[in-house]
Amino acid sequence: MNLADGIADALAYIEENLDGELTVGEIAARAYISEFHFQRVFSAICGLTVGKYVRNRRLTLAARELAGGGVKVTDVAMKYGYGSMEGFSRAFARFHGVSPSDVLAGASAKSFPPLKPKIKSEANGMEFRIAHKEAFTVFGLCREFSNDTAYQEIPAWWDEHLASKNRPVMGRFGVCIDTDGEHFDYLIADEYRPWEELPEGCVARSFGAGDWAVFPCNVTTLQDTNTRMWGEWLPSQREYRLRANMNIELYDTPEEKYCELWLPVEKVRQA
């Protein structure tokens, strides 16, 4: 099964289980990819996180049931995974712009239909190269981020870091390392020099020798390149597959425009 078919199976699985338990791990398993990478691929292809997609679909179905009448708001809230009326009402109003009781009384609500994304079979014009790198170690500042909010929070942390006058690291690397599928560690890091003592508050991380898919870009195109890397290049790949739950950003210096995105890959063994 290729990744495009896997995403389609994952979306079908979501649809079949909106009124039951859903975890990202179970959804990602339908695409035969790790939670860490699945969430990046899903966001790039579908334009929103897995969690937000599931919430939007559940709130759409909840509104449909309320509009049909003959149901209790509390029963609908529990059916679609909300443990409290307060949480359900808040999420419902935020999405639909009206309360559950308003819809029960006849008010109209929004609709978020199931997605059927068109996944490109080729990453046309996307520049990349495969580079073998020997084992290396980085050290830096580390924070944990949620996959749901990382796109907004990591750039803000970089701004905070670059504005600081006392930086223990310059920031040659930005390193994402999976922790539990839902969260990941992000390091603002430099290359580790073993003869020097680690600065206070810093940690070190080591990576074994292996191949990397390298995507050149600049600061202004980094997020677009990142989206195309996950949403076009990876699903269209037949020669390489991912080999580790991580990825790296390389900057000449944080103040310079040129940078690279690195994905750890390995050759697909032909049957």
Confirm if 57 and 25 have CB atoms less than 8 A apart. no
pLDDT, one tens digit per residue, over 84-97 is 999 999 999 999 99
Residue spans of the domains in the chain: they are 3-104, 129-267
Q: What is the pTM of this model?
A: 0.87
Q: What's CA 224's distance to the chain center, in Å?
A: 14
Pairwise CA distance, residues 80 & 130, whole Å? 45
Q: At what angle do helices 3-16 and 50-68 cross, to 10 degrees?
A: 30
**168/178 Cα distance (integer angstroms):** 24
Which pLDDT band, with edges at 50, 70 and 90, does 60 fall under? very high
Residue-wise pLDDT tens digits, 19-36: 998 999 999 999 989 999
Share of the chain above pLDDT 70, in %: 96
| Average pLDDT rounded to a whole number, residues 125-152 | 93
Q: How far apart are CA 226 and CA 217, in angstroms?
A: 9
- DSSP class of residue 268? P
Range list of H helices, the chain: 3-16, 24-29, 35-46, 50-68, 73-79, 85-96, 100-104, 150-163, 222-228, 234-236
Is the model's pLDDT at 127 over the cut of 60?
yes
d(Cα 92, Cα 86) in Å, to the nearest integer? 10
Can you say how many angstroms the Cα of residue 193 is from the centroid of all Cα atoms in its chain?
31
> Do residues 174 and 150 touch, judged by C-beta distance below 8 A?
no
When mean pLDDT is compared across 4-13, 91-100, 131-140, the lowest value belongs to 4-13
Say whether domain 3-104 belongs to CATH 1.10.10.60.
yes
**33 versus 2: which is more confidently predicted?**
33
HEC string for 184-219: EEEEEEEECCCCCCCCCCCEEEEECCEEEEEEEEEC
Q: Does domain 129-267 have CATH number 3.20.80.10?
A: yes
Mean pLDDT of 169-188: 94
Sign of CA dihedral 98, 102, 104, 108: negative
What value does the mean pLDDT take over residues 126-141? 95
| Residue 124 reports pLDDT greater than 80 | no
Contact in structure between 17 and 43 (CB atoms under 8 Å): no
pLDDT beyond 80 at 270: no
